[in-house]
Structure 1
Amino acid sequence: MSSTTPVIAIFDVGKTNKKLFLFDEHYNMVHERSARFIETVDEDGDPCENLESLRLSVFDSLREVFKKKEFEIKAINFSAYGASFVYIDENGEPVAPLYNYLKEYPEALKKQFYDQYGGEADFSVATASPVLGSLNSGMQLYRIRHEKPEMFAKIKYALHLPQYLSYLISGIPCSDITSIGCHTNLWNFNRNTYHRWLGNEGILEKMAPIIASDSVVPAAFPGNNYSVGVGLHDSSAALIPYLVNFTEPFVLISTGTWCISLNPFNNNPLTREELELDCLCYMGYKGTPVKASRLFAGFEHEQQVKRITEHFNTSAAVYRNMDYDPGVIDRLKLRGRNETPRETEAPLTASLFGQRDLAAFADDVEAYHQLISDIIGQQYRSTQLVLKNSNVKRIFVDGGFSKNAIYMNLLASVFPGREVYAASMAQATAIGTAVAIHKHWNTRTLPGDIIELKYYSVTQALAKSDE
């Protein structure tokens, strides 16, 4: 007799790739399907997500996996990028495009908003939201309210993208704190409730009821026995496996185009200075703030590697697995004695490396070690912003830089009092989204080996240097 495998289906919707994963009860991925859509344009001709393609893709993908008799779907959950609303009418139909969070925001309207609600600095501190225009999703609603009153009148609910995806399957409109609490201008972190401007503008009534991120709702289709999660903001989802696996305070540096340092154990309110240095707060899935600082280091790395490859006539592939050479770092440090220690003055927007003359380096290995050293100078300052006044002993690094031996060794050397680990976990966001509702679909205890760790110690780096 053939047995079926109980699984959870996770939709992980990024800007570029839309993926569907099936995980078994041990969190092994047993099926994956990927799709990419052609963007469409909104009424102003600006690029935006093709909402209809996305909706149809969700149903097509589910139909396909329901046909697979070897799997029994116990639950479905969703993670998606933030700062994006789907506006639905009383019949659940979208009444507007899914506006792109990079859409330019009218300066006059922005000025009107901040002038009315306390000024940029005070408002940003209260909502833990740097001034980011359309990237503050609440500002998209404010714009519709003032520029398109007829459209605004038709909106029954404004659902963040993960909650809209959940709504497609459950038919239950809801809001989730991980989406509301991430640089949206919607949440007053000081008072732990919506900011008063929502009531003043008639927007509060268009926010669906908040449902706990780790809860489930029934599916809309009769005769099924699976649960539906309410969906999560992807940045918060990626942190969940760490929160579940480690009880000791830690910081996670999630590396990619942006390197985001996340500290779930720092409850100090954001200051104006921190906001100016690109700090913000995410809301964790249990409803507590996660202090975060951002650094554009992945992008910077990509740009500067291009400079190195052009100057030394090499291939970018060489630097993916380059070994750490402490001798090279020692030489660079000796040479640096005559330089002004500009690390403290370097802005967090670009590393010092962009100002360096490549002809000063003996070879590309030396130049690349210097690039990573300069990036670590910035990374130290960025991570230090969220480490301040918290008793964190461990730093985990995941994403691209976790596989970079030079980055990891130098990071360990600038944080000598803390344990530094490269962490690897396939599909962290999707697994976090599944783990969030573990108790509602999985009969087994959570496995302790979801995350693979590799320890980097300062003493190892020094020992190599002495050999």
Structure 2
Amino acid sequence: MPATPVIAVFDVGKTNKKLFLFDEQYQIVFERSAKFTETVDEDGDACENLESLRLSVFDSLREVFNKKEFEVKAINFSTYGASFVYINEGGQPVAPLYNYLKAFPAELQEKFYADYGGEDEVSRRTASPVLGNLNSGMQVYRIKQQKPELFAQTKWALHLPQYMSYILSGHACSDITSIGCHTNLWDFEANNYHPWVQQEGIAEKLAPVEACDTVVRAFFPGNNLKVGIGLHDSSAALIPYLLHFQEPFVLISTGTWCISLNPFNASPLTVEELHQDCLCYLTYKGDPVKAARVFAGYEHELQTKRIAEHFNVSPSFFRSMPFDPEVYAAIEGKESLQQAADATGKVLKESPFAQRDLSLYANEEEAYHQLIADLVHLQYASTSLVLQGSTVKRIFVDGGFSKNNIYMNLLAAAFPGMEVYAASMAQATAMGAALVLHKHWNPKPIPSNIIELEYYHLTPSNALS
């Protein structure tokens, strides 16, 4: 049998590093997953083991190349954002891959914003809330200010997706999806780098910006592999939806963070929205995406453990639990979804469930319905921020909560004027990174069945008496 043509996609998360092979119908025909033990930087703070990551790429490809049933035509990358790799003239890393959760020096942050117009003005123009090292441009600024020797050694500061591409191609570049994700680097008004990037000499350390569908040759001798330049994972996850749906939509991408992404809202962020954790991303075509996020997945994990311990049940008790309107109606002290809907624009920083007394609930089913109701209230307020001023009538939910029957029913109740769908797609982030290179490796049309949708319709009166 002839070998199956495939594209290989490395999908690098903070915890799991995965390799997927997609065939020409974008079905996953092979996958490999790895986890690495973290190392520490010079301050003793935990960070990614960059050498393990680099070696894993070559080990994975060696394994795939030895599988005669596959013919790898192209390779691309999607990784978490807010992370730079600093390489010297010879292409070698000269610093650790600093963790974006590392504390940013308070005095240096104060100096930066004082020099460049204040927090509100910089945040507004760069669509980046003040997030310390999560504003990845601030990482380069810190090195320039505090580690001038390291800054001088640095030929290029590459965002992680572009570094992954670089180790296979030797081609240094920047991409707009990484630059445009809460970095403090991109001026959304001028559609260029913010003036501070030039004034601090940072621009000369940033490789030329290239289109997200760019391919370069791998440096392996005797091959015709086409290597993509990589994408920021949040923007990659949007690509399958942007390619398949012309009618405006909001995507709620659920995981540790639940991020509401509206590619059809071009209104500039206000200072108030920035204070409510709104930000902007850029699509693979360079268009702004208004986004808002809540830490709902993380809270769900913490609170389900608390419920399980209180009621002495398995922590996985909720996975097959269906939505039950009668159970929901029995919740003591509940707040109706309509009351949450009336609080448009008021983003709760955290749901009230952590303060709720679990002894008020008859069983884990009641308590879990209350938890999900609280998280949906939070999600409603967050998503409403990106809906304002747009004509969106459809909401797609992907990730973990899309499989949660209670969450999906209550979300539909919270948005009675919307079409609410649970979206099912194999590995949306990796899929997006594969699709963006479609024209370079796949002669067949993009299949129309990549995304499966399940419609939810539940008015508040259906959910509550």
Assess same fold via TM > 0.5.
Answer: yes
Q: In structure 2, what is the Cα distance between the partners aligned to 1:207 and 1:252?
A: 31
Tell me the equivalent position of 1:34: 33
Paired residue for 1:242?
241
Question: Structure 1 residues 395, 160: closer, same or farther in 2, change over 3 A?
Answer: same
Partner of 1:270 in structure 2? Answer: 269
- Matching of residue 255 in structure 1 with residue 283 in structure 2: no
Contact 1:343 1:377 in 2 (8 A): no
Deviation at 1:386, TM superposition (A): 0.5
Per-residue CA distance 1:405-451 (angstroms, 9 max, x = gap): 11111111111111101111121111110001111110110011111
Question: How big is the shift at 1:355?
Answer: 2.7
Distance of aligned partners of 1:333 and 1:384 in 2 relative to their CA distance in 1, 3 Å threshold: farther
In 1, the alpha carbon distance for the partners of 2:164 and 2:340 equals 50
Q: Does 1:23 align with 2:31?
A: no
Task: Report the secondary structure of 1:311's partner residue.
Answer: helix
Question: Which range moves more in the overlay, 208-217 or 324-333?
Answer: 324-333
- Measured after TM superposition, the shift of residue 348 of structure 1 is 2.2
Match status 1:8 vs 2:16: no
Structure 1 unaligned blocks of 5 or more:
none
| Inter-CA distance 380–122: structure 2 relative to 1 (3 Å threshold) | same
Give a deviation string over 1:258-293, Cα, whole Å, max 9, x none.
111111111011111111111111111110011110
Name whichever of 325-334 and 134-143 sits farther off: 325-334
SS at match of 1:58: helix
Determine the structure 1 residue equivalent to 2:208.
209
**Contact 1:10/1:77, CA 8 A, preserved across alignment:** yes
2:192 alignment partner in structure 1: 193
TM-score (norm 1): 0.95
Identity percentage of aligned residues: 67
C-alpha distance after superposition, 1:38-83 (max 9, x if no partner): 1111111111111111111111211221122211111000111111
Q: How does 1:353-372 map to 2 (within 5 A)?
A: 353-372=353-372
In structure 2, relative to structure 1, the CA distance for the partners of 1:389 and 1:341 (3 Å cut) is: closer
Residue 378 of structure 2 aligns with which residue? 378
Instruction: Kindly state the Cα deviation for residue 304 of structure 1 after the two structures are TM-superposed.
Output: 2.1
Partners of 1:384 and 1:83 in 2: CA distance: 26
CA–CA separation in structure 2 for the residues paired with 1:77 and 1:336: 46
Q: Deviations over 1:297-350 (max 9, x none)?
A: 11222222223223322222221111111122334489658xx98984985221
Contact in 2 for aligned 1:393/1:418 (Cα 8 Å):
yes
Alignment-derived partner of residue 402 in structure 2: 402
Q: Distance in 2 between matches of 1:34 and 1:359?
A: 41
1:439 alignment counterpart: 439
Cα distance in 1 between the residues matched to 2:38 and 2:369: 39
Query: Residue 238 of structure 1: SS of its match in structure 2?
Result: helix
In the other structure, the counterpart of 2:165 is 166
CA 1:335–1:172: 2 relative to 1, 3 Å: closer
1:464 offset after TM fit, Å? 8.7
User: Could you tell me which residue of structure 2 aligns to residue 308 of structure 1?
Assistant: 307
Structure 2 residue runs without a partner (length 5+): none
Amino acid at match of 1:204: A
Q: Tell me the distance in 2 between the aligned counterparts of 1:324 and 1:19.
A: 33
Rounded to whole Å, the distance in 2 between the matches of 1:344 and 1:268 is: 21
SS in 2 for 1:275: helix
Instruction: Indicate the residue corresponding to 1:51 in structure 2.
Output: 50
Aligned to 2:429: 429
Q: CA deviation at 1:151?
A: 1.0
Q: Distance in 2 between matches of 1:268 and 1:342?
A: 22
Other-structure match for 1:220: 219
Query: In structure 2, what is the Cα distance between the partners aligned to 1:63 and 1:463?
Result: 55
Tell me the SS of whatever aligns to 2:222. Answer: coil
Paired residue secondary structure (2:75): strand
Corresponding residue for 2:114? 115
Residue 285 in 1 paired to residue 254 in 2? no
Distance 1:161 1:335, change over 3 A: closer
Partner residue of 1:143? 142
Counterparts of 1:314-325 in structure 2, within 5 Å, are: 314-325=313-324
Distance 2:315 2:142 in 1: 43
Asked if residue 415 in structure 1 is aligned to residue 415 in structure 2, the reply is: yes
Offset of residue 463 of structure 1:
6.6
Change in CA separation of 1:358 and 1:3 when aligned onto 2, cut-off 3 Å: same
Separation in 2 of the partners of 1:361 and 1:221?
62
**Structure 1 match to 2:458:** 458
TM-score of the superposed pair, with normalisation by structure 2: 0.95
One-letter amino acid of the structure 1 residue matched with residue 350 of structure 2:
A
CA shift, 1:465, in A, is 8.0
1:142 and 1:464 map into 2 onto residues whose CA distance is 51
Measured in 2, the distance between the counterparts of 1:22 and 1:137 equals 30
What letter corresponds to residue 352 of structure 1 in structure 2?
P
Cα distance in structure 2, aligned partners of 1:292 and 1:51: 30
- Are the counterparts in 2 of residues 170 and 218 from structure 1 also a CA contact under 8 Å? yes
Alpha-carbon RMSD: 2.0
Residue-pair matches, total: 462
Counterpart Cα distance in 1 of 2:208 and 2:9: 23
Cα shift readout 1:359-382 (whole Å, capped 9, x = no counterpart): 322332222212211111111100
What's the offset of the Cα at 1:146? 0.9
Cα 1:120–1:334 change in 2 (3 A) is closer
> Could you tell me how far apart the structure 2 residues matched to 1:335 and 1:67 are?
58
**Which residue does the alignment assign to 1:124?**
123
Tell me, what secondary structure is at the counterpart of 2:320? coil
Question: One-letter code of the match for 1:93?
Answer: Q
Letter in 2 for 1:416: P
- The question of 1:329 aligning with 2:328 is answered yes
What CA deviation, in whole Å up to 9, does each residue of 1:111-138 have, x standing for no partner?
Answer: 1111000001110010011111111111
CA separation in 2, counterparts of 1:186 and 1:142?
Answer: 10
> What's the offset of the Cα at 1:150?
1.0
Q: Does structure 1 retain, via aligned residues, the 8 Å contact 2:228–2:437?
A: yes
The aligned runs of 1:339-350 (5 Å cut-off) are 344=343, 348-350=348-350
